[in-house]
């Protein structure tokens, strides 16, 4: 697969999402902000300064939902409106939210993590997987997750795939109400990051230290391994009229080193290629403001 670099000059890119007009949204975890690339190549910023945005979702009104430090927020690229969506679960403030995934019912799945501990070089406190409904109700689905990462639903919405960094790839069977009925580990590895599910229910996982994108069968076997355009590959998403445009985001060179000692630089980028298989259309969330 041949990759074309279409965005550069950032540090630690995450959360790629593409709308029907071909606008690509992405975040910079370290330098901050949620940004956009229009179909004509123009770069803009939707949210400034917000740090640790690991996931984005498209809302029904043209706005976007951002994860990050302190929870979830909403922003609209045209109106400039921005506000907090979720800052605490019960009485407990949220440290950070990483990847998020629309649930097909107007809400979303999201994973919390100990961002402060991770950046300080400490073993992070365990996080959890939750679901947020459009009415604001939060359901905690799984506790004790060291680092929650990429999320993706199966084509029929009955299974949720979850990339859990330091552990591997998991799948949850979902009930009619979106609750988890059972879980199974499909593959074990320590460098799993973002993921996307395609129309054949294969799971594309970014391996952020080996520089590979692996396509896993639903049983956990590797169907193919693709050399990523940069070693520190973090996340990916499908787009385009036929959902065969594959967008891949990366971090600055050396960001994935065990020591985290590489100096931060603006070498993170967005790449685009063509996939032999179509991806799945992502549902929009339906939060009202």
Q: What is the 3-state secondary structure (H, E, C) of 6-24?
A: EEEEECEEEEEEECCCCCE
Neighbouring CB atoms inside 10 A of 51's CB total: 17
- Backbone CA torsion sign across 267, 273, 276, 277: positive
Query: What pLDDT is stored for residue 259 in this prediction?
Result: 47
Domain range 4-274, CATH class: mainly beta
Neighbouring CB atoms inside 10 A of 80's CB total: 8
pLDDT tens, residue by residue, 132-190: 999 999 999 999 999 999 999 999 999 999 999 999 999 999 999 899 999 999 999 99
Give per-10-residue mean pLDDT for the chain (289 aa). 97 97 97 97 96 97 97 94 96 97 98 87 90 98 96 98 96 95 97 97 96 97 97 97 98 73 87 98 96
Distance CA 56, CA 175 (A): 25
Query: What pLDDT is stored for residue 258 in this prediction?
Result: 52
Query: What pLDDT is stored for residue 131 in this prediction?
Result: 98
- Dihedral, CA of residue 90, residue 91, residue 96 and residue 101, to nearest 10: 10
- Calculate the alpha carbon distances from 249 to 8, 20, 225 in Å: 10, 19, 17
């Amino acid at each position: 697969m041949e990759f074309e670099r279409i965005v550069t000059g950032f540090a630690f890119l995450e959360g790629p999402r593409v709308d029907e007009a071909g606008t690509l949204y992405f975040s910079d975890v370290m330098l901050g902000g949620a940004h956009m690339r229009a179909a004509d190549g123009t770069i803009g910023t939707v949210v400034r300064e917000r740090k640790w945005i690991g996931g984005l979702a498209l809302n029904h009104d043209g706005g976007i939902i951002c994860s990050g430090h302190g929870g979830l927020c909403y922003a609209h690229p045209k109106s400039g409106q921005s506000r907090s969506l979720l800052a605490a679960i019960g009485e407990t403030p949220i440290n950070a939210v990483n990847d998020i995934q629309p649930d097909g019912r107007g809400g979303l799945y999201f994973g919390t993590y100990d961002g402060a501990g991770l950046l300080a070089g400490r073993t992070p406190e365990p996080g959890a997987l939750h679901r947020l409904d459009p009415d604001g109700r939060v359901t905690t689905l799984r506790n004790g997750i060291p680092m929650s990462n990429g999320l993706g639903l199966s084509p029929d919405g009955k299974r949720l795939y979850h990339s859990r960094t330091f552990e591997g790839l998991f799948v949850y069977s979902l009930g009619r109400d979106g609750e988890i009925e059972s879980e199974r580990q499909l593959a074990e590895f320590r460098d799993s990051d973002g993921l996307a599910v395609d129309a054949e229910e294969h799971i594309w996982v970014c391996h952020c230290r080996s520089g590979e994108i692996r396509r896993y069968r639903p049983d956990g076997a590797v169907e193919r391994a693709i050399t990523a355009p940069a070693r520190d590959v973090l996340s990916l998403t499908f787009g385009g009229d036929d959902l065969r445009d594959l967008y891949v985001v990366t971090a600055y060179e050396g960001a994935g080193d065990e020591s985290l000692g590489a100096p931060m630089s603006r070498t993170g980028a967005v790449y685009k290629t063509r996939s032999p298989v179509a991806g799945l259309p992502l549902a929009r969330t339906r939060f009202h403001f």
